[in-house]
């Protein structure tokens, strides 16, 4: 018989997840990288640095997503919602690890701003979950839609020869679209356009700062 987790157990688990999210190369994926044996074409220095900047943005986006799901899972009221949040969070860990590995291949690094964005996203997720599951799920839907738009843009901006990054981003886009659909089907509310515009503005602030730092 499985032992019920105590509050202390849950806190230890949360702390372990924080470390795995924020410490470079600590996240372990449950699925192999979509890049597989795909080979890049030749990339010049500018293309390599540009690709690394884009993948750094995507890595930070996954840090935010992980924090969002952790915060929501902590305060979600329905057991089914918490379980779905945990499943989505595991897929986001895959994304996190894939982006991290790709950054290593491109001689890049993760963003120095990740702890700041993690804390902000965790707080927003916990607040949304505390208000109610419908709002929390709606927040997931709106967030994943924003992520999908970023991925579409990055797929267009990637250097033509960067095939490995492209494979990773295409799988991420598929997963994020699934998360967005699930959130609505589970009862999430659709956010009005002004709220989505505000979220889009904040995501632009994140992308512009993380590309460089």
Q: Is 144 annotated as a binding residue?
A: yes
Q: Is 176 annotated as a binding residue?
A: yes
Q: Is 167 annotated as a binding residue?
A: no
> Over the chain, what HEC string results?
CCCCCCHHHHHHHHHHHHHHHHCCCCCCCCCCCCCCCCCCCCCCHHHHHHHHHHHHHHHHHHHHHHHHHHHHHHHCCCHHHHHHHHHHHHHHHHHHHHHHHHHHHCCCCCCCCHHHHHHHHHHHHHHHHHHCHHHHHHHHHHHHHHHHHHHHHHHHHCCCCCHHHHHHHHHHHHHHHHHHHHHHHCCCCCCCHHHHHHHHHHHHHHHHHHHHC
Q: Is 95 annotated as a binding residue?
A: yes
Spatial distance between the Cα atoms of 118 and 95, rounded to a whole number of angstroms: 15
Q: Is 156 annotated as a binding residue?
A: no
Annotated binding site for Fe cation: 62, 92, 95, 144, 176, 179
Task: Output the known binding site.
Answer: 62, 92, 95, 144, 176, 179
């Amino acid at each position: 018989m499985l032992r019920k987790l105590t509050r202390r157990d849950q806190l230890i688990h949360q702390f372990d997840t924080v470390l795995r999210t924020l410490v470079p190369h600590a996240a372990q994926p449950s699925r192999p990288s979509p890049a597989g044996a795909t080979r890049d074409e030749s990339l010049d220095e500018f293309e390599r640095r540009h690709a690394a900047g884009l993948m750094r943005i995507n890595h930070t986006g996954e840090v935010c997503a992980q924090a969002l799901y952790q915060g929501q899972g902590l305060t979600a009221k329905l057991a089914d919602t918490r379980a779905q949040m945990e499943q989505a969070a595991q897929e986001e860990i895959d994304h996190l690890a894939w982006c991290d590995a790709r950054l290593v291949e491109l001689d890049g690094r993760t963003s120095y701003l990740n702890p700041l964005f993690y804390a902000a996203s965790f707080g927003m997720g916990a607040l949304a979950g505390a208000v109610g599951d419908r709002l929390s799920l709606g927040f997931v839907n709106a967030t994943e839609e924003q992520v999908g738009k970023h991925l579409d843009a990055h797929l267009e901006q990637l250097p033509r020869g960067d095939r490995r990054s492209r494979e990773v981003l295409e799988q991420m886009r598929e997963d994020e679209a699934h998360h967005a659909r699930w959130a609505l089907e589970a009862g999430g509310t659709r956010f009005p356009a002004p709220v989505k515009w505000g979220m889009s503005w904040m995501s632009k602030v994140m992308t512009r700062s993380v590309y460089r730092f």
